[in-house]
Amino acid sequence: MNEEWWGITRMGDMNEDGIYVTEPRVALDALTQVWAIDPQKQPIKTASTISSIDTADLLARANKRDEEMGWGISNDPIWFNGGELRLEALRTRSDDDSLNNSDLGQMMFLDFEFQFGGYLSGDFTVNLIGDAADSAFEYRYGDRIVDEDEPRYELYDFQATYSGRDFDLNAFYHVPRYHWGYEGDFFGLLRETTDMASRNGQDTWNEKAPYGAEFVGKNQLDGLKVVAGEEVYWGANPKVIAKYQFGKEKQFTIMRSQDYGEAEAGGGAQGSTTSSKSTQTTLQAKLNLSDNTQLQVGAIQSNAHKVGEEFLYRENGVTYIDTITDSDTYGAKALLTHAFDNNVIGHVEFNYSGLVADAGNPLREFGTNLPLSGSGNQKSINGGLRLSSGDFMVYPRFLLRDTLQGANPQIDPVNIGLIMDPGISPRNTNDSPFAVLGNRDARAVELFVTYDPAAGTPFYDWNNDAAEDAALAYNVRLTVARFPETTDAPLYFNDTALAELPLGEGLPEENVWLLTSKVVLNPSPDFKAVIKALVGKQQPSKFGFEPDQVTDVKATRFKGVEGKFYFNHMNIVTASYLKDGWGPYDFHKEFNNKYPTQVELGYTRLLDSALSEDSSSRVGVKLFYRELDEYSPEYVAGSNEDMSEIQVFYSRRF
C-alpha cells in the first residue's frame, strides 16, 4: 500500500487466487539505480551520478516490460474490462392456478474503461437482455422488457472524470453517490443515492439516478462544489446545488439549491410521487467551542416562491383562510455535541422550520428508527447520550416534535340555520403550499444496546454484515413512538389517471413500537452467521386504494427472523420468516399490503474460492412462499390462499 501511495508500484489485475498483482512502475527502476550508489564510497560524485541516470532509457525499458507482461494502462483509448453473464429459470404456482407460470431469463453486462491523455478517464457498463423471467414474488432489473416493452439493450452506468489544474469535472449516470452531510451540508440538501441493486433499489424499477455533472474546485477554487443534472439523487427534480466551504478548517458553508424543472410523475418505485419545484439557501457553521464541545448552527430559507399562496385551517369550529408570508420560509437548527469523557458523549439538537421551510434528509447514524423529518412546519428537539464501557455501548435517544400548523380534519359542509359551514378537508401538496405528513407531531424514544469487541469493524457501518470479524457481536434496539395527531392526505400515482392524486384521508393518531436485534457469529474461519430478528407494531405510511383490497390504515403487528450462514466461504444459506408483515417492497408498507406468512429460503455456491460474494461467479436456488388474505395484492376472495415460486440461477464473471 505504501509503495502505491508513493507511486513506486501500481495495483494491477486480480490473479486466480483473488490477489491484486503488484506491478512495478518506472519510479522503482530509477530508485533501484539510486539505491545502488554507495554515498560512503562516492560522497562527492553522488549527485552527479544520480543526475546521469538515463530516465528516457528507463522509461523505454519499463514500457517494454509492461507490454510483455500485459501490465499498465492500455494504449487503446477504450478497452474491454470484463463482464457478467446471468442465466435463470423459475416456476410459480398458486392454489387456484391463476399465477402458474414458468419462465427463463438471460442477461449480460459488459464493462468498459477509457482514458484519453492524462486528463480524461472513466468507465461504463452496457446491459443486454435476451429474455426476462417474470417473477410473481420479485420486481427486478430486466422487467423493463416485460412491463414496458423497452429495448433489450441499454447503457447501465457511466462515469467520467476530467482532471484539470484548478478543478475536476465529474460526469455520472447511475453510479453510487454520497450525501454532503459530513462536509458542511447541515440541512441535507444533497441526498445520498447508493442503493442500486437491493430489493428496494433503483434497478428494481429501472431507475437511472443519479445523473448529472459535478464541478470540484482545487487550488484557488478549493472549497467550491457544484452539482447539476436532471436527477442528481433518486427522486430529485432537475436542479443545481452549489456549495462553498471556507475558513481555516472549512468550518463555514454556504449552499444554494435551485430546481429548474419538475420530475415526471410516476417515476421511481410503485406508488412514488414527485415534489414541486423548490429553492433553498443555507448558511451553516461548525465551531469547536472547546476540546470536548462542538456546536453546529445553521439557517435556511426555502420555497420563497410560495409566499402569498393560500391555505386553510380549522380553529374553534371555524374554517379560516391564511397566506404564506416571508417568515414561513425561514428555519434554524443547532446541534451541540459534548464529550464528558472518552466513554460518554452527548448531543442535543434544536430545530425550527417555518410552514414551507423544507430542508432535505436528516443525517441518520447508527441505523436509528426515530421518525426524523426534514420537512418544514415543525419545531423539534432530539438528543441522546452514548455510553461506552469496554466492548459495550448503550445509547438512549429521544425526539419531541410539534407542528406549527396541525393537519386538517375531514368535516363536510353543513347548513346551520341561515349560516353555511363550508367544512374542511385534509390538505395535500397538490392543492396547498404544505401538508402535515412525515413531520407530524411525535413523541419518541429509542434505546440501543450494542456489544462489539472488534473495533476495526464498526457495528453500524454499511457493510458490517460482511466485514464483522468478532467471534460474537450483537445489538438490541427498541424504538417507541406516539403520534398524538392525524396527518393530512398523502399523494399517490394513479395508473389510470396517469397523475398524482390525494388519497382523501390522512393517517389517524397511533402508538407504535419496533424491537430489532442483529447477531453476528464467527466461531471459526469456516463458518459465519448473521441473524436478524424483529417484532413490532407499525403504521402504514399511506393506505390501500385498490378496489379488491381492504382500505384501512390499521396498525400492523408483526414478527420475523432472517439469517445468512456462510460455510467454508463458498456456501451461503439464507432463510427468512415473517408473520403478519408487509411485503418486501416500500409500496407494500405505503398501501398496507401484507401477508399472514412469508417464507424465503436460498442456497448459493460461490465458484471463485478467493473472491467475495459480490465478485465471484455463483450458482444457486431460491424458494418463496406466501399465504394470502384480504390485505394481499394477489388475493382474490374465495379463490386463492397461497402462492409459491422456485428460482434457479447461474452467474458467470469474466
Task: Locate 300 and state its grid cell.
Answer: 435556511
How far is Cα 515 from Cα 448, in angstroms, rounded to an integer? 10
SS3 per residue for 161-226: EEECCCEEEEEEECCCECCCCCCCCCCCCCCCECCCCCCCCHHHHCCCCCEEEEEEECHHHCCEEE
How far is Cα 407 from Cα 410, in angstroms, rounded to an integer? 10
AA identity, residue 634: E
How far is Cα 363 from Cα 383, in angstroms, rounded to an integer? 13
Q: Of 523, 314, 305, 512, nearest to 405 (Cα)?
A: 314
Q: Which residues contact 153 (CB under 8 A, 6 or more apart)?
A: 126, 127, 128, 129
Measured CA distances, 221 to 167, 182, 348, 470 (Å): 7, 20, 34, 44
Task: Locate 358 and state its grid cell.
Answer: 423544507
Angle between helices 26-35 and 55-69 (to 10 degrees): 130
Q: Of 373, 374, 377, nearest to 355 (Cα)?
A: 377
How far is Cα 220 from Cα 241, in angstroms, rounded to an integer? 20
In which residue are the cell numbers 407460470 written? 101
CB 514 within 8 A of CB 369: yes
- Counting Cβ atoms within 10 Å, is residue 355 exposed (0-12), middle (13-18) or buried (19+)? buried
In which residue are the cell numbers 477504450 written? 78
Q: Using the 8-state DSSP alphabet, how is residue 59 labeled?
A: H
CB 460 within 8 A of CB 479: no
Q: What is the pLDDT of residue 66?
A: 74
Q: What is the pLDDT of residue 417?
A: 74
Q: What is the pLDDT of residue 435?
A: 96
How far is Cα 67 from Cα 544, in angstroms, rounded to an integer? 63
Q: What is the pLDDT of residue 547?
A: 46
Q: What is the pLDDT of residue 70?
A: 67
Q: Of 61, 51, 73, nearest to 28 (Cα)?
A: 61
- In the chain, what are the domain boundaries? 2-69, 289-487
How far is Cα 645 from Cα 102, in angstroms, rounded to an integer? 10
To 5 degrees, how large is the angle CA 550–CA 553–CA 557? 100
Q: Of 303, 429, 427, 430, nearest to 360 (Cα)?
A: 303
Q: What is the pLDDT of residue 611?
A: 80
Provide block-wise average pLDDT over 10 residues at a time, the chain (654 residues).
64 62 79 76 59 75 74 77 96 92 97 90 97 94 83 96 95 97 96 93 93 96 97 96 96 97 64 70 97 97 96 93 97 98 96 97 93 97 96 98 96 82 91 96 98 94 93 98 95 79 87 98 96 96 58 86 96 98 92 94 92 91 96 86 97 95
Q: What is the pLDDT of residue 270?
A: 46
Q: Which residues contact 195 (CB under 8 A, 6 or more apart)?
A: 201, 202, 234
How far is Cα 390 from Cα 451, in angstroms, rounded to an integer? 9
Look at residue 458 and give its three-state secondary structure.
coil
Q: What is the pLDDT of residue 46?
A: 55
Q: How many CB atoms lie within 10 A of CB 191?
A: 21
Look at residue 65 and give its three-state secondary structure.
helix
